[in-house]
Structures are given as structure tokens and as C-alpha cells.
Amino acid sequence: MTRTFRLAALLALAFAAPAALAAPPSPARIDRLLEVMRAEQTVAAMMPQVLASQQQMVAQLTRDADPQQREAAMRAVTSSMRAVESALSWDALQPMYRDIYARTFTAEDTDAMIDFYSSPAGQNLLDKMPLLMQNTMTAVQGLVVPMLQQLERDLRSQLDTDAPAAAD
């Protein structure tokens, strides 16, 4: 091995070692982080949005259906939402969050995030996060909707083109 290569390998090991040896956060510190980040409240606030989105989707899919079909579809949505609410409840998600945070962040990372999210700036960020997400979704829809409309036109055009050939 050349000296340059050995030096580079030694430096790489030296910089990698602290990350590999970094202490994981304690379960109590992860719980504190989830608390200051308002994770449980965020999960709870998500459920009405999921329900509304699912109801909107069913309404669109059943707009040409008769009232009985629409009612049956809404009953199915209501039933499936009970399962979704159970699967996405805080009690169900909290162990997953704990595991993900423990595998992702070091104790030092966790403490720094607790400090930030406990600060006025961190709390302000959390207060504004729903509006940020809403504005982001609106902007993304502005990009995606025209693409979906073009895709629909392309598919209709392709289907119209292929239809006479299939009749032959």
C-alpha cells in the first residue's frame, strides 16, 4: 500500500469511529423529544384529514353511482377508517417512533433537538408546520394536476386510437 492510501484509510477510520461509538439516546430522552415535538398531537390531527381525503375519494369514484351504491361505499369507508384509526393510533405508532428515533439519532442529536423544539423558535416552527404543509401540498398540486390532466388526455387519445384497430 502506498503511504497516501494508508493515510487516507487511517483518516477515514478516525472520522468514522466517533459516529460508530456515539451513544444511542435513552428511551426517556426519546419520549421527551416526541413530547416537545408534539408527535402525539400531530398523529391525532392527521386522522380527520385522512378520513376527509378518503371520503372525498369515494365521492369522486361514486359520483355516477346510484344513492344505494354511494351509501354502501360510505359504509365501507367508515368501516375501513376504524381499522386505519386503530393502526395509526398513538398507542400503535409510539413504539415504532421510539425505535426509528433510537436507530436514527444519537443521544447528542436527541438532546440538541429537545433543546431546539423546547425553544420559542422550535415551538414557533411546530405552530407553523401545518400551514407549511398545506402551502407545500397546494404548490405540489399546482404542479401535479396539470400533469395528471395531460396524462388523462394522452390515455384517452391512445384508447381512441387503439379502439378502431381492436374492432378490425
Q: Residue 57 and residue 141: Cα distance in Å, rounded?
A: 15
Confidence of residue 2 (pLDDT cuts 50, 70, 90): low
Collect all residues with Cβ–Cβ distance below 8 Å to 77 and sequence separation of at least 6.
54, 55, 58
Q: Residue 9 and residue 16: Cα distance in Å, rounded?
A: 10
On the question of pLDDT at 11 being above 70, the answer is no
More confidently predicted of 118 and 68: 118
Report, as an integer, the average pLDDT of 71-77.
82
Least trusted range by pLDDT, from 11-15, 139-143, 152-156: 11-15
* CA dist list (Å): 71 to 14, 49, 50, 116: 65, 21, 19, 48
Quote helix, strand, coil % in the chain, to nearest 5. Answer: 90, 0, 10
Q: Residue 1 and residue 62: Cα distance in Å, rounded?
A: 70
Least trusted range by pLDDT, from 50-59, 87-96, 98-107, 125-134: 50-59
- Tell me the average pLDDT of the chain: 85
More confidently predicted of 132 and 61: 132
Tell me the per-residue pLDDT of 100-148, one tens digit each, with 9 for 90 and over: 999 999 999 999 999 999 999 999 999 999 899 889 989 998 998 888 8
On the question of pLDDT at 19 being above 60, the answer is no
